[in-house]
Structure 1
Amino acid sequence: MAQSMYNKLQEHVASLEDDFSKFYDKSNKAAGTRVRKGMQELKQMAQDIRTDVQDKKNAEG
Structure 2
Amino acid sequence: MDVPYDLNSYIRVLKLASTPTWDEFWQVSKIAGAGVLLIGFLGFIIFAIMNFIPGGV
Does the TM-score normalized on the shorter chain lie above 0.5?
A: yes
Radius of gyration: which is bigger? 2
Inter-partner Cα distance in structure 2 for 1:30 and 1:60: 45
Question: Which residue of the other structure, out of 15, 18, 28, is the alignment partner of 1:37?
Answer: 28
Q: Which residue of 1 aligns with 2:14?
A: none
RMSD over equivalenced CA pairs, Å: 1.4
- Kindly provide the CA deviation profile for residues 1-60 of structure 1, in whole angstroms up to 9, marking residues without a partner as x: xxxxxxxxxxxxxxxxxxxxxxxxxxxx81111000010000000000000000000000
Q: How many residues align?
A: 33
Inter-partner Cα distance in structure 2 for 1:45 and 1:37: 12
The 5 A counterparts of 1:19-38 are: 30-38=21-29
* 5+ residue gaps, structure 2: 1-19, 53-57
Q: Select the structure with the greater relative contact order (CA < 8 A; seq sep ≥ 6).
A: 1
**Structure with greater helix share of residues:** 1
What TM-score does the superposition give when structure 1 sets the normalisation length?
0.52
